[in-house]
Structure 1
Amino acid sequence: MQDPAPPLATIAAALRAERERAGISIAELARRAGVAKSTLSQLEAGTGNPGIETLWSLGVALGVPFSRLVEPPTPAVRVIRAGEGPRLSADRADFVATLLAAGSPDRRRDLYVMELEPGQPREAEAHLPGSVEHVVVAAGRIMAGPAAEPVELAAGDYISFPGDAPHRYEALTAGSWAVLVMEHR
């Protein structure tokens, strides 16, 4: 699987805006998110190579959905062609998520396409309190769900589980992919 480049300019602007909205310093946000201050400074400068885990930690520390950090403002009609869109890869797993649509403040949900390959599972930390993940497998087979009780799913299967507790995704066959709807309360 190709290692996609993250949308660095969008991430830099969003991190800076959300940090300023929260009224906290770079040092304080870095402490809350458990990331190095130098890493956060690089991200706000539009450099560095953030993984999903780092961005999730920053989103949780800021109290905002992950999508708010990677999604640029959208026009009224939006088309994302297959293989396009903001793609982010995991640091420790062959896992790529493409954000298709982000929720607004009154509709807090995000829509992703996830591409997974066999190997290291994607171990996800807890997201914002009240988060729920809805997954429909489109191709292949994956194990997904709470970290302690993942469920094997095949193409066409659906699972819903709390996203505010540790959870995991693991491809059991090559070329697996799924659609993820993330609800935030």
Structure 2
Amino acid sequence: MDLIGTIAASIRRERTRAGLSLTELAKRAGIAKSTLSQLENGSGNPSVETLWALGAALGVPFSHLVDPPRPTTRVIRAGEGPATHAEHADYTAVVLATCPPGARRDIYRIVFQPGEPRLSAPHLPGTVEHAVLATGHALIGPADAPVELRPGDYLSYPGDAPHSFRALVPDTSAVMVMEHI
């Protein structure tokens, strides 16, 4: 199944699980009902921001909406995987692993370019993000106090408060782990 098909099936599954109508979920996520309908029908192309808003409205991590069911052994080569893109920044998130039942973490590979920062609204309460810069040079962390990172640097910060990513050089990449309570 392609990424758009996976997203469509995941949104329908989670909306049904939550017992929400299209109208109610659209209202909670702050998106148009027609947009939600298109997404559920597999004809939309959601941004990272839209998927985060839907995840928050459904009470599930972002990764539950984009990660297809996986086999026991999984290899994701560089440049592959379910990628989603930000609306206002040159920022791409690729889900590498999601939480199996009972676990509370998701792993992402992030690639971003200089320009507008990727500003993230707070995620579910208790979320903590961990970032390891792989390549480049970046400012990452709390929106009001991002930290300058170079390759190999590690940072942990509250994901349930506004935060941002800003590449200072081209082709900056990081591995990010999100913990959910």
TM-score range, shorter chain: over 0.9
Does 2:30 align with 1:19?
Answer: no
2:118 to 116, 119, 122: 122
Aligned residues: 180
> How do 1:70-81 and structure 2 match up within 5 A?
70-81=66-77
**Which residue is equivalent to 1:39?**
35
Q: Which of 54, 63, 73 is equivalent to 1:67?
A: 63
Which amino acid counterpart does residue 120 of structure 1 have in structure 2?
Answer: E
Q: Secondary structure at the match of 1:99?
A: strand
1:104-139 Cα distance to aligned partner (Å, 9 max, x none): 231111111000100010000010111000000011
Separation of aligned partners in 2, 1:8 and 1:149:
35
Equivalent of 2:138 in 135, 142, 149:
142
TM-score (norm 2): 0.98
AA aligned opposite 2:44: G
Which residue in the other structure is 1:169 paired with? 165
**Which residue identity does 1:88 align to in structure 2?**
T
Q: 1:160 aligns with which of 150, 156, 163?
A: 156
Secondary structure at the counterpart of residue 72 of structure 1? coil
Aligned residues: CA RMSD: 0.8
TM-score (norm 1): 0.96
Report the identity percentage.
Answer: 59
Distance 2:180 2:90 in 1: 25
Separation in structure 2 between the aligned mates of residue 62 and residue 73 of structure 1, nearest angstrom: 19
The amino acid of 1:34's aligned partner reads G
Unaligned stretches of 5+ in structure 1?
1-5
Paired residues for 1:42-57 under 5 Å: 42-57=38-53
Asked if residue 107 in structure 1 is aligned to residue 107 in structure 2, the reply is no
Match of 2:87 in 1: 91
The residue type equivalent to 1:54 in the other structure is T
* SS of structure 1 residue aligned to 2:111: strand
**Deviation of residue 49 (structure 1)?**
1.2
- Unaligned 5+ segments in structure 2 are none
Alignment partner of 1:30 out of 2, 26, 30 = 26
Deviation at 1:78, TM superposition (A): 0.8
